[in-house]
Amino acid sequence: MSKTRSTTILAIRHRGEVVVAGDGQVSLGATVVKHKASKVRRLYHGRVITGFAGATADAFTLYDKLEQKLEQYKGNLMRSAVELAKDWRTDRILRRLEAMLVAVDDKHSFLLSGSGDVIEPDDGILAIGSGGPYAQAAARALMDHSELDAESIARAAMEIAAAICVYTNHNINIEKI
């Protein structure tokens, strides 16, 4: 996987809640060109939440493809994610896309990449983008050492990532199942 800059996406599954959080910064090189982008999106009648890191046009292509798979497989996120990963890896056009996706529903959380990865975390935390490792570490510590709910953990972890990563800002968008 290549290192994706310009964002932080964090998914947390904790105490029966599932949240996906994303920051709002869009950067071109070292320049911030947008502060309030929404990189977190609901799919399939609002039952699946996704977040992307990488090239925006590529991410929208992947959103469309995932939505098609969800329709085809009647909302089965696991099957849809696997089928999207297969297409992404084998299709001449799709395999050139430079983005990563996090997709969650009430049962599963997946990280999807163009190299065919469909990864479900052991601990209920997924993070992508340049600020992902900071947000993931903060979320893990907060889950283990606090009584906070999933949304509060996500917000605090994203604030920590934004304080460290120059490609992540404090305009945080959170969607919850």
In angstroms, the CA 95 to CA 56 distance is 15
Query: Out of 4, 7, 50, 168, which one is annotated catalytic?
Result: 7
Reduced to 3 states, what is the DSSP secondary structure of residue 131? coil
7 is a catalytic site residue: yes
Longest Cα–Cα distance of the chain, Å, equals: 47
Q: How far is CA 63 from CA 28, 49, 57, 101, 174, in A?
A: 22, 10, 10, 9, 18
Q: How far is CA 21 from CA 122, 166, 172, in A?
A: 19, 17, 7
Catalytic residues: 7
